[in-house]
Amino acid sequence: MADFDLCIIGGGINGAGIARDAAGRGLKVLLVEQGDLASCTSSASSKMIHGGLRYLEFFEFGLVRKSLAEREVLMGIAPQIIWPLEFCIPHKNAIRPAWMVRLGLYLYDHLWPRKTLPASGQVNLARHEYGEPLKNGEGVGFTYADCWVDDARLVVLNVLDASSHGATVKTYTRCEKIEPLSCGWKVTLKDLLADKEEHHTARVVVNATGPYAYEFLKSTGQVMSDTPKLRLVQGAHIVVPRLYIGTQAYLLQMPDKRVIFVFPYGDYTLCGTTETDFNGDPVESAALPSEIQYLCDALNENFRRKTAPKDVIWSFAGVRPLFEDHETDARKVSRDYRFYEDKSSGNLLLSVFGGKLTTYRTLTEEVMAVVRGEFPSMRESWTATKKLPDCPVDFSKPPTDDDLRYFIKKEYARRSEDILWRRTKWGLTLPPNEVELIKKKVPALVKEITGHDAA
């Protein structure tokens, strides 16, 4: 008999969501992540729960409808980290005609019933407050609503709920090998902190490694002739001094037909994203000088306050794992997900290719539908109505040692970076001396709590 029913490789949003759903259905779950939770793509998104307005331009009506439905669900189960955000689309000299924008917004309003968010609208920018910070604050502005999310915390809360339902979680642990057995898989792991190897068995292995999905199969000898490949596309973001007062966000239509989002971000403004083909290790992705300049130019074309690369306070980039369809324009590559089921060994190895933050929960339900054949007695779906847990740390107050201990003991943080940039954004919001103090304290606390040196 296997140690675990499901071994999930990958601690991003998909792996975290699958672990939560499976554990809550009564399965014995092992979640393995080679770095920190949300350490790659899932903490470097545009931080939106949205239907994907721009996907309508490429006729992705099914994806938009599914995403709009999930937007309503996620607002209900995670109101502590997801909240409404109104967007303004300035339309002066825009690349798309007004009728096309109106039609897109009409579809966006009606592809799925709205329960809480307002319908789209139109404002006169010369008279409306949304026009005040704009360089050409006149003409028509279209408005619509979507949602903001703390992406890294969404991952962590899913993992905490999985753990509360009995899942075993191992971070900073690399999956070195999977080998088929007569009934299930032998999984060889390397604990990177303790520098030791361990072995487990699992009935089913789920490859939810995001941008590493193909490489994981390749490194473990599981690539088949029909195994899909991924197209890796980097999206960069910049954080700059606040460009305007207000809670509204902006969607800017660029001459090259890209769209750029501009968000209020506490005392700052967040702007993104780009789409650049990526080659390399996804965890090492970083905003390129050309991407930073592109985003600064986008801001300068639209806002009164000037922004130069030297003004950028923080930049980050994430690698989107898009399903390879050989489309030359990265904008047109689908953001939907696909599964690849391999039972050539007699045991199920399920790989997830692609996907987006908003639809992670529907993805997990579809994964459960695939594995139900292996576990016919598992319980029914449940995640659409059960709220995600709260965090006891008050982020508005200066951090205490007890706060740091909580993140290490309960939320699997093992480095100061895990706390400063993923569990919180203290790396951006705290004074430099307090950031340095946390960097000095965390290694000793990790050693005290885990018995191992920090990662």
How many Cα atoms are found within 13 Å in the side-chain-facing hemisphere of 388? 24
What is residue 59's predicted lDDT score, i.e. its pLDDT? 79
Q: Where are the domains of the chain?
A: 4-42+152-229+333-371, 79-148+230-325, 401-450
Query: Quick one: fold of 4-42+152-229+333-371?
Result: FAD/NAD(P)-binding domain (3.50.50)
Distance CA 3, CA 409 (A): 24
Q: What is the dihedral of CA 239, 240, 241, 247, to 10 degrees?
A: -60
239 close to 317: Cβ distance less than 8 angstroms: no
Distance CA 114, CA 116 (A): 6
Length of the chain: 455
pLDDT along the chain (455 residues), means of 10: 93 98 98 97 95 86 93 96 96 82 93 92 95 90 97 98 98 96 96 94 97 94 89 96 96 92 96 92 95 97 96 96 62 70 94 93 97 95 97 92 97 97 96 96 95 76
Residue 337 bridge partners (DSSP):
354
- Are 4-42+152-229+333-371 and 79-148+230-325 equal in CATH topology? no
What is residue 327's predicted lDDT score, i.e. its pLDDT? 52
H runs (alpha helix) in 6-45: 13-24
H or E segment to which residue 319 belongs? strand 314-323
Tokens for 79?
A: 């109101």
Tokens for 337?
A: 């997900």
Backbone angles phi, psi at 13, to 5 degrees: -65, -40
What is residue 325's predicted lDDT score, i.e. its pLDDT? 59
Nearest Cα to Cα of residue 353 among 365, 366, 336: 336
Is the four-CA dihedral 295, 297, 302, 305 of positive or negative sign?
Answer: positive
Is the four-CA dihedral 166, 167, 170, 176 of positive or negative sign?
Answer: positive
Tokens for 238?
A: 């910049």
What is residue 225's predicted lDDT score, i.e. its pLDDT? 87
Nearest Cα to Cα of residue 216 among 184, 177, 250: 177
Distance CA 78, CA 147 (A): 11
CA 380 to the chain's CA centroid: 26
What is residue 324's predicted lDDT score, i.e. its pLDDT? 65
What is residue 332's predicted lDDT score, i.e. its pLDDT? 46
Nearest Cα to Cα of residue 5 among 191, 188, 167: 167
Query: Quick one: fold of 79-148+230-325?
Result: D-Amino Acid Oxidase; Chain A, domain 2 (3.30.9)
161 close to 20: Cβ distance less than 8 angstroms: yes
